[in-house]
Chain A
Amino acid sequence: MDGPQRDGSAAERTPELSDRDAELVEELLAGSHRALARVITRIEDRAAGHRAIVSALHGHTGGADVIGITGSPGAGKSTLVDKLAAAYRERGDTVGVVGVDPSSPYTGGAVLGDRIRMGSNVGDMDVFFRSMSARGQLGGLSMATADAVKALDAFGKDVVVIETVGAGQNEVDVVRTADTVAVLVQPGSGDDVQTLKAGILEIGDVFVVNKADMDGAERTLAELEEMVHRREGPTTGLDTGHHGFDAPEHPDDPTPSDGEAASGDAADASGDDAPGWTPEVLRTVANTGEGVDELIAAFDAHAAHLRESGEIEATKRRRYAEEIRTLVRSDVGALAAEEIERRGGIDRLAEAVRRRETDPYSVAAEVVAPIVDCVETDRE
């Protein structure tokens, strides 16, 4: 856990922290809300120097539990996040929230409305709520969100919640940056549950039927239970209505798991070979705060499971691998874009293809050729 890692072997493109940004990072680490807010803006803007900032912060991250909350519009995500934040505050945790809202693909404008629901935490600066919009970058939103989470983590937040509408791949990628994902469903949404099957069901660690005081809640609960257990496979999950939260707590002891759960009875549900996690299905009424404590208990249980099974390391590796790939892809893509410009722009190239003077494959090969050359020369 030491500061910015800049080893001597760094190539010329290693992010260089300017003096002013170094100061900003210092201020953030010292607990300035303003600096934190400003850093997130830089991240969102993909402004010059933001990479150096994030890479300077990276060494200070890893302390926060990151929770993703997704669900269809109107499921009550914002209200629940508000109550969650208040409950976390009550037990002494500091909280960061990133609320992601869609933006208009035409004007880029957006009304970021999640903040309106943060009624329980107004005036409490230890809940840092930040609205972000999808600024239309391809794959950029999840990157920006992940970086914003890092800023909140480095700032020292105990819990960081990412809230997003579960609408498409973009949003799925966003919640994937969380360690624990809760999928929110409202009662009576039989069709909703159906659509959950595709994509979102797989990423949920906890399923929540919110507005559980409404008609149809029981049925939706039953449907989710059934779906969750079907996912577990036909032989398991028949008796997993509850598995205890009394799993041993060794937060600082990431057991290098050899597939053996530490305690015998906590893992009774899922057999010996893979100490898997059976998603919880819970009910909440976000308006009144009913079920919020149980939800937090489920989040804690999942976090403990990740640590004890050693799965957290695999999860983090997978996530960082994805980040590295995204960055490399975007950098190489930018190089290619420059090359396209140098060759007269994409329109001219496209027009040449339209006139049958050349074809897309040849154009792509020509554009990439100098990059390939460089890589090959470098290798020798």
Chain B
Amino acid sequence: MSVEQEERAIRCLVAKVGLDGHDRGAHVIARAFRDAGFEVVYSGLHRAPEDIVQAAVQEDVDVLGISILSGAHNTLVPKVIEGLKEYDAFEDTLILVGGIIPDDDETELKELGVAEVFGPGTPMEETIEFIRNNVPERA
């Protein structure tokens, strides 16, 4: 019945978790997402998993991009996923991980519910395309 025009935007949270001060990549990604027309919330550095969960839930993001270069992904990512489940926000959030992730770990993360892992050198367009094609449909 609404005659108003719907104004949907893809919302992303770009998150840095744990003791990892390398955020150049996260900044570059955030800007690329912005230029792709997404609305990007950046978490800031050194966030605990529960902070990320809080942000993802409150901001109701479609996409959660976690950037980890510290090697602690096997500890931190599961905690984030657990938290999202707790708030009933896991199902319709597309979870991406960027950083240096060994192949074995990648498989494991994907089993946990990470949609894709993007390593160093991934072209920006590839990530953006992936999001456009896989962003969860929300009725």
Interface residues, chain A, with chain B CB atoms under 8 Å away: 13, 15-16, 20, 32-34, 37-38, 40-41, 44-51, 103-104, 107-113, 115-117, 119, 122-125, 128-131, 133, 135-137, 140, 330-331, 334-335, 338
Contact = CB atoms under 8 A, between A and B. Distances in A.
A136 B8 CA distance: 12
B33 A130 contact: no
B118 interface: no
A38 B62 CA distance: 11
A115 B41 contact: yes
A104 B34 contact: yes
A13 B4 contact: no
B128 to A, nearest CB: 11
Contacts of B60: 34, 37-38, 40-41
A34 B57 contact: yes
Contacts of A110: 34, 39-40
Nearest to A337: B3
Contact of B39 (A47, A128, A133): A133
A112 B54 contact: no
Interface string B1-41: 11111111101000000000000000000110111111111
18 contacts: A13-B1, A16-B1, A37-B60, A45-B6, A45-B9, A50-B2, A107-B36, A108-B9, A109-B33, A109-B35, A112-B40, A115-B42, A115-B59, A122-B54, A131-B39, A137-B7, A330-B4, A334-B5
Contacts of B40: 109-112
A123 B48 contact: yes
B10 to A, nearest CB: 9
Nearest to A121: B54
A124 B35 CA distance: 32
A123 B8 contact: no
B50 interface: yes
A124 B51 CA distance: 9
B3 A109 contact: no
B53 to A, nearest CB: 9
Given A109-B35, A110-B39, A123-B48, A135 B7 contact: yes
A108 B3 contact: no
B1 A112 contact: no
B47 A34 contact: no
**9 nearest A-B residue pairs (beta carbon):** A334-B3, A37-B60, A116-B44, A109-B34, A122-B51, A107-B37, A41-B60, A109-B37, A108-B37
A227 B51 CA distance: 42
A112 B13 CA distance: 10
Given A107-B34, A108-B37, A115 B3 contact: no
